[in-house]
């Protein structure tokens, strides 16, 4: 009888150990499943953005991720025309944020962009070294340099060139022109004294002044015939790409853009 009782106790203990093992195995499986689900829910958003958005885009990203915690955002900055060409050649881009309307419209015409939205406006300003005596671009001297963006790929360069032509100044300053790959490079040329004058967006000048002891100042604002409109679009069918465009329409996004001196 005693042996029989002992056998029953051992059987019960063995059963408990088996059940415990199954239970622990189940918990491990749940954890693994949860981890896999989290990885599956992780989303990537590739944004090609005009160089003039370098600073403001970081704050836009932070605000967007506050509501979309599973999204990893990567930015590719450059001249809008160059970015458009990359998208046309098949670059893996989900959202295009241009500094003009032309490059987005060109992608729409080729069925490579959808969900367009005019999200901001900017102004073109002539800048010079701090304390400069120049009052306008027409004061430029023979040996001086005027920096502008490449007209074919940089909207700010196209705006500057058109402004000079409209005001019959282009032929006068043509020998002085130095072309840059984007507005940030124009700003850099003037800051380092490689060019005495340059045309940049008002927002770029503002950011330069915010970043510390700026070596440049605004001389005047270019009076353009048409406003500078920034346009965006989705360039993939990702849901999160459309969500980014919708975010740009919110009061929060507009508040951030205005903080960086864009009109929104």
Domain edges within the chain = 41-121+230-259, 124-221
Residue 194's pLDDT is: 96
Provide the pairing of β-strand 228-234 with 177-180: unpaired
Residue 210's pLDDT is: 86
CATH number, domain 124-221:
3.40.190.10
Nearest Cα neighbor of 169 from 128, 130, 108, 126 is: 126
* The domains spanning 41-121+230-259 and 124-221 adopt the same CATH topology: yes
Per-residue pLDDT of the chain (264 residues; tens, 9 = 90+): 445 445 544 454 445 444 444 444 445 445 454 444 445 578 999 999 999 999 999 999 999 999 999 999 999 999 999 999 999 999 999 999 999 999 999 999 999 999 999 999 999 999 999 999 999 999 999 999 999 999 998 999 999 999 999 999 999 999 999 999 999 999 999 999 999 999 999 998 998 888 776 889 999 999 999 999 999 999 999 999 999 999 999 999 999 999 999 999
In the DSSP assignment, the letter for residue 263 is B
Spatial CB neighbours of 86, under 8 Å, sequence gap ≥ 6: 48, 76, 93
User: Which of the four CATH numbers 3.90.1330.10, 3.40.190.10, 3.40.50.300, 3.40.50.2300 does domain 41-121+230-259 have?
Assistant: 3.40.190.10
User: How many residues appear in the chain?
Assistant: 264
Nearest Cα neighbor of 167 from 175, 176, 177, 159 is: 159
The reported pTM is: 0.77
Nearest Cα neighbor of 77 from 103, 43, 100, 48 is: 48
Residue 158's pLDDT is: 95
Cβ–Cβ < 8 Å for 119, 232: yes
Task: Give the Cβ contact number of residue 205 at 10 Å.
Answer: 23
Residue 36's pLDDT is: 45
Provide the pairing of β-strand 197-201 with 146-149: parallel
Task: Kindly report the three-state secondary structure assignment for every residue of 140-204.
Answer: CCCCCCEEEECCCCCHHHHHHHHHHHHCCCHHHHHHHEEEECCHHHHHHHHHCCCCCEEEEEHHH
In the DSSP assignment, the letter for residue 261 is T
């Amino acid at each position: 009888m005693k042996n029989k009782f002992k056998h029953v106790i051992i059987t019960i203990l063995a059963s408990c150990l088996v059940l415990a093992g199954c239970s622990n195995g189940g918990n491990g499986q749940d954890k693994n499943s949860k981890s896999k689900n989290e990885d599956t829910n992780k989303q990537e958003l590739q944004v090609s953005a005009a160089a003039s958005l370098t600073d403001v885009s970081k704050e836009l990203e932070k605000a967007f991720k506050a509501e979309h915690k599973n999204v990893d955002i990567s930015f590719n900055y450059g001249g809008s025309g160059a970015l458009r060409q990359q998208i046309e050649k098949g670059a893996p881009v989900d959202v295009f944020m241009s500094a003009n309307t032309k490059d987005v419209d060109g992608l729409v015409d080729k069925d490579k962009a959808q969900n367009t939205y005019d999200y901001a406006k900017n102004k073109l300003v002539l800048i010079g070294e701090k304390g400069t005596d120049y009052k306008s671009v027409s004061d430029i001297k023979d040996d001086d340099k005027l920096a502008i963006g490449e007209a074919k790929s940089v909207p700010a360069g196209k705006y500057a060139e058109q402004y000079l032509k409209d005001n019959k100044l282009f032929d006068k300053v043509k020998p002085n022109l130095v072309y840059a790959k984007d507005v940030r490079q124009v700003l850099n040329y003037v800051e380092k004294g490689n060019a005495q004058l340059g045309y940049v967006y008002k927002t770029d000048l503002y950011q330069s002044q915010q970043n510390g002891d700026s070596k440049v100042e605004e001389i005047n604002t270019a009076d353009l015939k048409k406003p500078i409109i920034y346009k965006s679009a989705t360039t993939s069918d990702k849901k999160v790409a459309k969500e980014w465009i919708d975010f740009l329409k919110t009061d929060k996004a507009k508040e951030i853009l205005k903080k960086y001196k864009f009109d929104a």
